Amino acid sequence: MTNIGILGLGHALPERKLTNHDLEKMVETSDEWIVTRTGIKERRVAQKDEKNSHLATAAAKEALKSAGLSADKVELIIVATISPDSHFPSVACLVQKAIGAKKAAAFDISAACSGFLYGVTTAKQFLASGTYKNALVIAAEKITNLIDWNDRSTCVLFGDGAGACVLGETKNGGGIIADYLHAQGQYGELMEVKVTEREPFDQESKITMLPYVVMQGQELFKIAVNSMAEAVEIAVKRAGLKLEDIDCVVPHQANDRIISAVAKKLKVSKDKIFINIQKYGNMSAASIAVALYEAEKEGVIKSGDHVALVTFGAGLVSAATIVKW
Ligand code: ACO
């Protein structure tokens, strides 16, 4: 059977940085509180005219370049996002136009912070079935658009960014060995952004609620730890491996304390876990894509390594993917 794996990675981050000290001037918070509770020191915030699709396109171009694939040969584009430019067209179609991938099918998926791994697993099925030869999977968020900047319990946590990968046949014996996707819809209310409901026949009806993130942090924390640990265990088992065989874990970067608790539960040493939350905060779907990009660039992940990718997000949705690099 053909090995399907990651042929190239890319990323894009807004230039504007927002530090904890900047936030101290905006809401009643402190650098000490944010660092102790989350591990975050700063995050990136896109400018008003810097759209999700711009970040997605920049990340896509870098991934294509690194894979040596020209845009006109791309057969499938999947964008994982919960903060698109518009309800429609999809970000995937906007990227398709921007890069000139005229042959490609393109669609978005909504799986919050697990979107990148949901996208990778979905694309892998198309490649494994022989429907397509390659796929561009992008995770892009302008989640700061969905933040109430007066709410200190959420505004300190999030940031914008994008990551991308090209999937295709690998020739070096590496590739995706196993994956696991799961959802627990019963916990959906723990984190949500409501759409604005309007009376269809009344053009004058007022928008009563703005579409901002509302979250029950402590409840999410507990479920995040259990779900991420369970996802890794199941995916590792499906890969025919043991936890000791994993060289590097790249987790979703929501909170450094969540990552520590997952490491403890799995009995995996924290120095095997890649963490960059201090620089970017929680970029939802884009977090793990950017973390994977940096882990590879910094030489933390090397050829032949077994890498466990694991995510958790609103929905609730969790996912894990085991890759031989
Ligand atoms: N600065 C200072 N104080 C704050 C802040 C802030 N930014 N935010 C809340 N507080 C206060 C609270 O009001 C509370 O005060 P009180 O004790 O007087 O009532 C106190 O700090 C403690 O608040 P808690 O909510 O209990 O703090 P906790 O230790 O649980 O940390 C946090 C909060 C960081 C949100 C944590 O619960 C967490 O990370 N949860 C998981 C959230 C998550 O992962 N979300 C995303 C998952 S899905 C996705 O990524 C799309």
Write the pLDDT tens digit of every residue in 272-313.
Answer: 999 999 999 999 999 999 999 999 999 999 999 999 999 999
* Overall pTM > 0.75: yes
23, 45, 77, 137, 299 from 12: Cα distances, Å: 23, 12, 17, 14, 19
Shared domain for 153 and 188, answered yes or no, is no
Shared domain for 163 and 252, answered yes or no, is no
Active site amino acids: 113, 252, 282
Shared domain for 160 and 50, answered yes or no, is yes
Residue 91 backbone zone (phi > 0: left; psi -120 to 50: alpha; other: beta): alpha
Shared domain for 42 and 140, answered yes or no, is yes
Shared domain for 157 and 214, answered yes or no, is no
Q: Report pLDDT digits (tens) over 224-281.
A: 999 999 999 999 999 999 999 999 999 999 999 999 999 999 999 999 999 999 999 9
Question: Is it the case that residue 59 has pLDDT exceeding 80?
Answer: yes
255 lines ligand 1 (CB under 6 A): yes
d(CA 247, CA 249): 7
Counting residues of the chain whose pLDDT is more than 90, the rounded percentage is 92
Query: Is residue 81 within 8 Å of 108, Cβ to Cβ?
Result: yes
Name residue 317's beta-bridge partners.
183, 313
When the pLDDT of each residue in the chain is averaged and rounded to a whole number, the result is 95
283 lines ligand 1 (CB under 6 A): no
Compute the distance from residue 211 Cα to the ligand 1 centre, in Å: 20
3, 90, 115, 119, 248 from 325: Cα distances, Å: 11, 31, 21, 19, 10
Domain, as residue range, for 182: 177-197+207-324
Q: To test ligand 1's pocket by mutation, which of 153, 154, 280 has the most ligand atoms within 8 angstroms of CB?
A: 153
Q: Do β-strands 317-324 and 161-169 pair in parallel, antiparallel, or remain unpaired?
A: unpaired
Shared domain for 261 and 149, answered yes or no, is no
Query: 10 Å Cβ neighbour count for 229?
Result: 22
Question: Is it the case that residue 47 has pLDDT exceeding 90?
Answer: yes
29 lines ligand 1 (CB under 6 A): yes
Question: What's the total number of domains in the chain?
Answer: 2
Compute the distance from residue 163 Cα to the ligand 1 centre, in Å: 27
Kindly report whether the peptide bond that precedes residue 316 is cis, defined as omega within 30 degrees of 0: yes
- Domain presence at residue 202: no
- Domain presence at residue 270: yes
In the chain, where does DSSP find H-type helix? 20-24, 31-38, 52-67, 91-99, 115-128, 152-155, 217-238, 256-266, 277-280, 285-297
Shared domain for 84 and 135, answered yes or no, is yes
> Atom 14 in ligand 1: which residue has the minimum CA distance?
153
Q: In this structure, what CATH number is given to the domain that contains residue 130?
A: 3.40.47.10
Q: Report pLDDT digits (tens) over 208-218.
A: 667 899 999 99
SS3 for 104? coil
Shared domain for 20 and 155, answered yes or no, is yes
Compute the distance from residue 140 Cα to the ligand 1 centre, in Å: 24
d(CA 211, CA 208): 10
Shared domain for 150 and 31, answered yes or no, is yes
Of ligand 1's listed atoms, the one at least distance from the Cα of 152 is 7
- Domain presence at residue 276: yes
Shared domain for 213 and 121, answered yes or no, is no
77, 116, 167 from 144: Cα distances, Å: 24, 18, 29
Single-letter amino acid code for the residue at 267: K
61 lines ligand 1 (CB under 6 A): no
SS3 for 259? helix
37 lines ligand 1 (CB under 6 A): yes
193 lines ligand 1 (CB under 6 A): no
Shared domain for 148 and 236, answered yes or no, is no
Compute the distance from residue 39 Cα to the ligand 1 centre, in Å: 12
153 lines ligand 1 (CB under 6 A): yes
Q: What is the pLDDT of residue 247?
A: 97
Question: Is it the case that residue 186 has pLDDT exceeding 70?
Answer: yes
Shared domain for 57 and 168, answered yes or no, is yes
Compute the distance from residue 265 Cα to the ligand 1 centre, in Å: 22
Residue for token digits 């944010």? Answer: 34
110 lines ligand 1 (CB under 6 A): no
Compute the distance from residue 153 Cα to the ligand 1 centre, in Å: 5
80, 120, 154, 194, 209 from 213: Cα distances, Å: 18, 26, 7, 8, 11
Query: 10 Å Cβ neighbour count for 240?
Result: 10
Of ligand 1's listed atoms, the one at least distance from the Cα of 38 is 34
Name residue 169's beta-bridge partners.
4
> Atom 32 in ligand 1: which residue has the minimum CA distance?
217
